[in-house]
Amino acid sequence: MSQDVRRGLLRRHRDFRLLWCGETAGKFGASVTGVAMPLVAVSTLNAGAFEVGLLSAAAWAPWLVIGLPVGVWVDRSRRRPIMLAAAAVSLLLFAALPVAARSGWLSTGLLLAVALLTGTAGVFFQTAYSAYLPSILEPDEQPEGNAKLHGSASAAQIAGLGSGGLIAQLAGAVDGLFANAATFLVSLLCLAGIRHREPRVTRTGHRSASLAGEVREGLRLIADDPWFRTLTLFGAASNLALMGYQSIQVVFLVRSVGLAPGPVGALIAAAGAGGVAGALAARRVADRIGTGRATLLFELGLPLFALLIPLTVPGVGVLLFGTGGFCVCAGVVAGNVIKASFQQRYCPPELLGRLTASTAFLSYGTIPLGALLGGTLATVLGIRAAMAITTAGVPLAALILLFSPIRRTRDLPGSPRPTGDSPSVPDPGGETVGPRR
């Protein structure tokens, strides 16, 4: 067994390998789109900063509208068919945009509609995916699995961001969207090849409650548990600031710094390399200093470098953007690795879909607000001033963690919470414990 463990998940676990390949391909395509869609809006349709921010908001708005009921539905259903359907929908929608452009139908409204619909598919996919992973991995394999998935996602993001700018410069921003459609095809084929089949979901006792009742159960899970509650509050505040500056960073680099599409993609990709470093460091640092202390380090210490981003100027000054973005990405991804392993270990499996959807509703729900905030501030105060305000919010959001009992706690809880009406929180270190990120 120990020899088998040393071989690593990618070598010994076929189903995880397919899930890993499919998820990595999807992240690559999404990163290409993250550059290509704003470039289409800016360079092809002459959209302004507010319209670009609205485009980012449309992609995340579905979490606010359908996130909670989707979580209940995922808990009631097999997760893999949901992921297959969501990937197929995204494939068709992204392939339709270049076709529409050739027919003369491309418009900002169409871009917004596709962003909204693919965002809706993303709600189903991400909720099902988060709940599906623990069904194919043993508990002691989940930290390694999360680290590999987050690390490869960050690597795919780097490649996708860099490729997105290059493809946009060589083939045109619109045709670059074919790359994203192709990656969803790869994701679809990988998911179809997974052999593991989930058992039919049965609902007994209190689980036969109405949709509204089960939605309330998911929200109560967060409200009543101090660990989940603080993770969610921090996620909401952090995502507001992160999307605030990320929604306008392409406009900032093109119009304020004066970069061409190719260098824009390369610079954003260089900043995204921090995600790979964060994924590689997360488990090692957490094992050495504890998951609680590592969370503070990654979510508060590294994001302080976000303050360098709005100082970016042409020439050597672009290194300020790269350095600040690298540190922010490293902290975010490392924190996500620790958080994902904690939630999968601590939450009862039958509630994991609702936990994912409820936390996403509250934390992802601020993402479209952040995108609108970034676009509005850029329109009213100017792009550089908007970048300064929104990037300052990244380390400020982590004050939620600093002023919580996390600073006195070495590790997050390691065993599932009770499923009764009055949850009790285990104390891993003999100290009084409370809200956490």
**pLDDT reported for residue 387:** 93
| Side chain identity at residue 42, one-letter code | V
Q: Tens digits of per-residue pLDDT, 324-335?
A: 999 998 998 888
Q: Tell me: pLDDT of 61 over 80.
A: yes
CATH code of domain 10-195+210-408: 1.20.1250.20
pLDDT-derived band of residue 420, with 50, 70 and 90 as boundaries?
Answer: very low
pLDDT mean over 85-114: 89
pLDDT-derived band of residue 430, with 50, 70 and 90 as boundaries?
Answer: very low
Q: Tell me: pLDDT of 189 over 60.
A: yes
Residue 342: CB atoms within 10 A of its CB come to: 25
**pLDDT reported for residue 162:** 63
How many angstroms separate the CA atoms of 413 and 406, rounded?
12
Q: Tens digits of per-residue pLDDT, 339-367?
A: 877 877 777 776 777 777 777 777 777 88
Q: How far is CA 118 from CA 51, 89, 93, 262, 411, in A?
A: 18, 7, 7, 25, 37
Q: Tell me: pLDDT of 202 over 60.
A: no
DSSP string of 299-313, one letter each residue: IIIGGGGGGGGGG--
How many angstroms separate the CA atoms of 33 and 39, rounded?
9
CB of 83 within 8 A of CB of 70? no
Cα angle value 356/117/222 (rounded, 5°):
15
How many angstroms separate the CA atoms of 426 and 423, rounded?
10
**pLDDT reported for residue 400:** 87
Q: Tens digits of per-residue pLDDT, 17-36?
A: 888 888 888 878 777 777 77
**pLDDT reported for residue 220:** 80
Highest mean pLDDT: which range of 148-157, 162-171, 188-197, 217-226: 188-197
Q: Tens digits of per-residue pLDDT, 393-414?
A: 999 998 888 887 777 788 877 6
Least confident of 261-265, 306-310, 321-325: 261-265
Q: The dihedral of CA 186, 187, 188, 191: what is its sign?
A: positive
* Domain boundaries of the chain, sorted by first residue: 10-195+210-408
- 10, containing H or E segment: helix 9-12
pLDDT-derived band of residue 433, with 50, 70 and 90 as boundaries?
Answer: very low
How many angstroms separate the CA atoms of 322 and 404, rounded?
31
Percent of the chain topping pLDDT 90: 16
